[in-house]
Amino acid sequence: MDAGKIALREEESFGTGSDHIHEKDGVWVLLASLQILANKKQSVEEIVNNHWKKYGRNVFTRYDYENVDAAGANLLMTFLEAQLPALVGRDLSANGFTYKVAVADNFQYNDPVDGSVSTRQGLRIVFEDGSRLVFRLSETGSAGATIRLYVDSFIPAFDSQRLLQPAQDLLKPLVLIALETCKMEQFTNRKAPTVIT
């Protein structure tokens, strides 16, 4: 608010918040949600499904590989970063879905308010349809490293066959592409993530 900007958001651990007040505990989002429920006289599920049918749906998942060998985790990130330039323009496929890579980089954030630059924020593969894969390596601790894979996509409203499917089903092709592209099992010796959000 102090900078003259307002943002409503959520994060992968299901928290919500806004910038119109200094308290970031989501009080405003809660009150706005209650107002919508009171006005619409519908269940949350009905409101959400109707919203998706009109505007489309963003779906998200996060795969956490916790306590992996730090050397293997670093090798995975180095290997993947080296592959990024060659991925641009390529078609990647899994489960009958094909996605064309538009951008592949090591993301940096340029803060529009204070002008600061945060580099190396995650290896990013962005597809022409806007779907994204982001790979992040946490600080390594005594028990190993954590690799986080973020996957998100947009399902347009006109895709009624897929619109109401579970998010994990919708994102499965992208997850498979991500795991194959980074050679997750090869570098971590893990067949599955520790946590799926």
Residues 110 and 30 in one domain: no
Domain that holds residue 87: 58-196
Q: What is the mean pLDDT of residues 21-31?
A: 69
How many domains does the chain fold into? 2
**Are 15 and 66 found together in one domain?**
no
Rounded CA-CA distance 85/98 in Å is 19
- Name the phi and psi angles at 34, rounded to 5: -65, -40
- Residue 90: both structure tokens together: 């390529």
Shared domain check, 145 and 113: yes
Q: Which sign, positive or negative, has the C-alpha torsion 16, 17, 23, 28?
A: negative
Model confidence, pTM: 0.80
Q: What is the pLDDT of residue 1?
A: 44
34 close to 163: Cβ distance less than 8 angstroms: no
**pLDDT of 155 higher than 70:** yes
Lowest mean pLDDT among 34-38, 61-65, 133-137: 34-38
- Give a yes or no: residue 51 inside a domain: no
The pLDDT confidence band at residue 22, using thresholds 50, 70 and 90, is: low
